[in-house]
């Protein structure tokens, strides 16, 4: 009977057996080699005392964050964004029905919880989106009128991949919101989508620097010549790393990125921790005036607020110079803002969260009678309608988000932004990983995210009895205090009386 079995089958079986034995032998040899390496090395105690087996400890440590995300963390537990927040962003981006059943999983009792105050007679009407255009830079040659409450915060090409930048630009154009370039300069991929752009001037002045690294008027004119570039933002500091400049690992610095930024190929792109030419209030106002005169477009600055007494000096100087000297907008970043790479001590311990800094800045602007002149953009972990509505109620004119739009692109919070190994192709220049991010598909999700955010913020506004989101005021929201009772935000942050022109700063 065996004679009827084809010879090729015997050969195949023999080869499979040989391959099996070879693999077993190779595995045993590998274990022996690892055992010898672990026993003889002196750097890691666990591996030295428990050779081979001790290596699993480091594997489990690395995998722990993924197991917590998918199996063990409750819907409202995980940081920096919990599953409930991410789920809302995913559903909004996919334009799915964003309703839940049975009851909220949010605990309403912790101190600091925000509750919106519904009125007995909500505003009628189905269209709850903001339809109000806000003029920025009325003293500029080319002021900018913006409508969308939510906009895309600064994310550089380099930190983000080509398809990610493309998708954001295409989606922003479709949704009618603006897109901040981040400090990495203006790339072709920002322009391809046709979106309104805010050009960010970082401390290294990538894209607008001369060969010596100084701000170049000629480069500013080149950038401003693009009709899509609507405003310029001078970045003083960033929420995730106040006091430290941008960090782009050399592994992510391609030839194109190096050319756009004006740096060496493959070298780490590390910006100074502040602008060398901005040492005080006078310098800041001078450079704002210079950029505005050269470009003819609105100019503001971005800062995370820590010490805020310098704002007294700034606002007093504006009153002395004249209201036209003021920045056209201020972007307030939060201490719980995000980034692709930052030192842990800065990310964890420096700066004020937006919940504290935004009311302070709004009150100071009102005190100096500058709130109408200077528009306020709030940024930092505001990726759900409740967070955006809170910012508007406190006094912001706009909200920007980076990580919210990363979720719209498909980010799974893998926490690998700084490693060039992002599994969703958003923060990597690995072509194989980028392949999964199809810009034309994801751009629709970006547009959906903007549409649904604006709509649901409007739903909250209608519930509170106002016609559109920017009519929300502090009395429309309450905060839970230590005794378990809530108080209105206008009592928690009562504001101040406007300061007259002649008052002195102490």
pLDDT, tens digit (0-9, with 9 covering 90-100), for 201-230:
999 899 898 878 889 999 999 999 999 999
Average pLDDT estimate for 485-506? 66
Give percent of the chain above pLDDT 90.
46
pLDDT band at 61, cuts 50/70/90?
low
pLDDT of residue 422: 83
pLDDT of residue 128: 60
Helical residues (DSSP H) of 395-426, grouped into ranges:
403-409
Among 209, 34, 150, residue whose Cα is nearest residue 386: 150
Residue 224: partners with Cβ closer than 8 Å, 6 or more residues away: 232, 294, 295, 296, 297
Least confident of 19-23, 112-116, 303-307: 19-23
Among 295, 280, 279, residue whose Cα is nearest residue 328: 295
Distance CA 188, CA 26 (A): 50
Say what angle helices 281-295 and 217-224 make with each other, to 10 degrees: 50
pLDDT band at 263, cuts 50/70/90?
confident
Longest CA pairwise span in the chain (Å): 111
Residue listed under structure tokens 């954001």 = 168
Q: Using the predicted structure, report yes or no on whether residue 32 has a pLDDT greater than 60.
A: yes
Phi-psi region of 206 (alpha: psi -120 to 50; beta: other; left: phi over 0): beta
Q: Using the predicted structure, report yes or no on whether residue 505 has a pLDDT greater than 50.
A: no
Helical residues (DSSP H) of 134-244, grouped into ranges:
162-175, 188-192, 217-224
pLDDT of residue 501: 42
Distance CA 163, CA 379 (A): 24
| pLDDT digit string, tens, across residues 367-408 | 999 999 999 999 988 989 999 999 999 999 999 998 889 889
CB neighbours (10 Å) of residue 272? 14
CB neighbours (10 Å) of residue 80? 14
Token duo for residue 371: 């709130």
Token duo for residue 432: 């194989």
pLDDT band at 260, cuts 50/70/90?
confident
Average pLDDT estimate for 154-183? 92
Query: Are residues 312 and 505 in contact, defined by beta-carbon separation less than 8 angstroms?
Result: yes
Q: Using the predicted structure, report yes or no on whether residue 478 has a pLDDT greater than 50.
A: yes
| Cβ neighbourhood burial of 494 (10 Å; 0-12, 13-18, 19+) | exposed
Average pLDDT, the chain: 85
| 3-class state of residue 209 by DSSP | strand
Token duo for residue 495: 């504001």
Q: What angle do CA 492, 389, 370 make, to 5 degrees?
A: 65
Q: Do strands 134-136 and 144-146 pair parallel, antiparallel, or not at all (unpaired)?
A: antiparallel
Omega within 30 of 0 (cis) for the link into 333: no
Buried b / exposed e along 438-454 (16+ C-beta atoms within 10 A): ebeebbbbbbbbbbbbb
Q: Using the predicted structure, report yes or no on whether residue 63 has a pLDDT greater than 70.
A: no
């Amino acid at each position: 009977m065996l004679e009827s079995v084809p010879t090729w089958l015997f050969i195949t079986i023999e080869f499979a057996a040989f391959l099996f034995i070879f693999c077993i032998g190779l595995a045993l040899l590998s274990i022996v080699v690892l055992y010898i390496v672990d026993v003889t090395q002196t750097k890691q105690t666990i591996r030295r005392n428990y050779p081979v087996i001790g290596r699993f400890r480091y594997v489990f440590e690395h995998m722990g964050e993924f197991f917590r995300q998918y199996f063990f963390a409750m819907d409202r537990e995980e940081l920096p964004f919990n599953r409930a927040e991410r789920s809302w962003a995913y559903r909004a981006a996919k334009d799915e029905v964003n309703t839940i059943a049975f009851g909220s999983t949010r605990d309403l009792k912790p101190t600091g919880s925000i509750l919106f105050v519904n009125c007995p007679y909500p505003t009628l009407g189905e269209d709850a989106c903001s339809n109000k255009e806000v003029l920025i830079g009325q003293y500029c040659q080319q002021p900018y009128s913006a409508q969308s409450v939510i906009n895309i915060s600064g994310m550089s090409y380099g930190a983000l991949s080509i398809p990610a930048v493309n998708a954001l630009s295409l989606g922003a154009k479709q949704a009618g919101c603006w897109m901040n370039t981040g400090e990495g300069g203006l790339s072709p991929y920002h322009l391809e989508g046709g979106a309104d752009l805010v050009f960010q001037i970082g401390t290294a002045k990538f894209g607008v620097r001369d060969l010596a690294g100084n701000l170049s008027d000629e480069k500013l004119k080149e950038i401003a010549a693009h009709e899509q570039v609507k405003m310029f933002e001078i970045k003083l500091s960033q929420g995730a790393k106040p006091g430290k400049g941008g960090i782009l690992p050399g592994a992510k610095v391609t030839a194109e990125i190096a050319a756009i930024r004006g740096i060496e190929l493959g070298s780490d792109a590390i910006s100074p921790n502040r602008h060398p030419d901005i040492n005080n209030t006078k310098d800041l106002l001078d450079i704002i005036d210079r950029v505005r005169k050269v470009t003819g477009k609105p100019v503001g600055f971005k800062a995370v607020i820590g010490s805020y007494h310098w704002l007294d000096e700034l606002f007093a100087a504006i009153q002395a110079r004249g209201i036209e000297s003021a920045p056209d907008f201020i972007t307030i970043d939060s201490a719980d803002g995000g980034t692709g790479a930052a030192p842990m001590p800065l990310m964890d311990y420096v700066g004020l969260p937006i919940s504290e800094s935004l009311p302070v800045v709004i009150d100071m602007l009102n005190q100096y009678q500058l709130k109408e002149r200077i528009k306020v953009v709030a940024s930092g972990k505001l990726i759900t309608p409740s967070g955006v509505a809170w910012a508007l109620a406190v006094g912001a004119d706009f909200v920007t988000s980076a990580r919210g739009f990363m979720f719209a692109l498909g980010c799974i919070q893998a926490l690998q932004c700084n490693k060039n190994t992002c599994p969703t192709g958003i923060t990597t220049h690995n072509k194989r990983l980028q392949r999964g991010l199809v810009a034309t598909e994801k751009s629709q999700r970006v547009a959906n995210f903007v549409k649904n955010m604006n709509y649901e913020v409007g739903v909250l506004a209608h519930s509170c009895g106002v016609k559109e989101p920017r009519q929300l005021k502090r009395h429309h929201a309450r905060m839970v205090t230590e005794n378990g009772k809530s108080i209105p935000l206008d009592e928690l942050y009562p504001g101040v009386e406007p300061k007259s022109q002649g008052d002195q700063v102490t």
